[in-house]
Homo-oligomer: A and B are copies of this chain.
Amino acid sequence: MLDLIAQRRGTLGPAERRVADWVLEHPRRAARMRLAELAAASGSSEPTVIRFCRRFGLRGFRDFAPRMTEALSRPATYVHHHVQPDDAPVDAATKVVDASIQALFAIRAQVASMPVQAVVDALARARQIVFAGLGASGHVAADASHKFFRLGLPCTALTDSPSILQYAAIAEPGDVFLVTSHSGRWAELARAAATAGERGACTVALTEPGTPLADAARFLLPCHAPEDTNVYTPMSSRLAQLALLDALQVALALAMGDAAVDRLRRSKDALQRG
């Protein structure tokens, strides 16, 4: 959380930046403060603080305090080790796994402030669920489709731009359109989400907060994972997305009750025979 604030500090306007600076300098105090207090202390106004919170994927200032206390009480033991060119294969491998663990910790800390309940409700009522993603995120989408399908829900995975845009154009109310992206910067994904949303579908973005895609979707599951810049593929963030979708599926299964659990058990038993 604090990392994220520090990182995105530069993209903020002057007033919001004052808030960011104050929070970064007095994180523990900020966690215990009221909205009006923080606004006064940082020399800005209440709506500015709220907008500041929203920019980081929070629903409002109500989620700020819990989120901060969680971030502050998180064990800081797992410091990120960058992979060095002269690392032995085993050491490099260990560091990569460490980075993944780190990413999951980050996700864990954020889960509490995500609109999980709202998304689960939408999924439970969905006429169909459409997962979309390009490149590596396409694999995430395919995996998710394969996973939610076992709950007995109509699922599809779309992994190329034409299909995604075509679907968005024919989306209907009752559909849930879940778009996955590491960077959130592909224009066509944001456009597809916007279109589907206008047509009445429930759009969910699984991506970095503050990006076009994140803004275009109705619900945002923020997925910010600190990547090792020496590694040129978004690995840990993809892992975080998968873990989050796993979590979503389990939450959905619980919400759907016995019928869903029964379907899962049956689909598992079907494999056991093989």
Residues of A whose CB lies within 8 Å of any CB of B are 31-32, 65-66, 69-70, 73-75, 83, 85, 87-90, 92-98, 100-101, 104-105, 107-109, 111-112, 114, 116-117, 120, 135-136, 139, 142-143, 146-147, 150, 183, 185-186, 231-233, 235-236, 238-239, 242-244, 246-255, 261, 264-265, 267-268, 271, 274
Contact = CB atoms under 8 A, between A and B. Distances in A.
Contact of A243 (B70, B135, B239, B246): B239
A250 B32 CA distance: 19
B65 A93 contact: no
Given A117-B90, A250-B96, A146 B139 contact: yes
Nearest to A65: B66
The secondary-structure label for the interface of chain A is helix
A146 B138 CA distance: 10
Contacts of A108: 94, 97-98, 101
Contacts of A142: 139, 142
Contacts of A66: 31-32, 65-66, 69
Contact of A146 (B75, B112, B135): B135
A97 B114 CA distance: 13
Contact of A89 (B88, B98, B116, B239): B116
A246 B180 CA distance: 19
Copies in the complex: 2
Contact of A92 (B89, B92, B251): B251
Given A31-B66, A89-B116, A90-B117, 15 more contacts: A69-B112, A87-B254, A89-B254, A90-B111, A93-B247, A93-B250, A94-B108, A96-B246, A96-B250, A96-B251, A136-B146, A143-B238, A147-B235, A231-B264, A236-B246
Contacts of A116: 89-90, 93
A185 B148 CA distance: 24
A231 B257 CA distance: 13
A236 B147 CA distance: 13
Contacts of A248: 93
13 contacts: A92-B250, A93-B247, A94-B247, A96-B243, A96-B247, A104-B104, A139-B146, A143-B238, A185-B274, A233-B249, A235-B249, A235-B250, A242-B242
Nearest to A150: B233
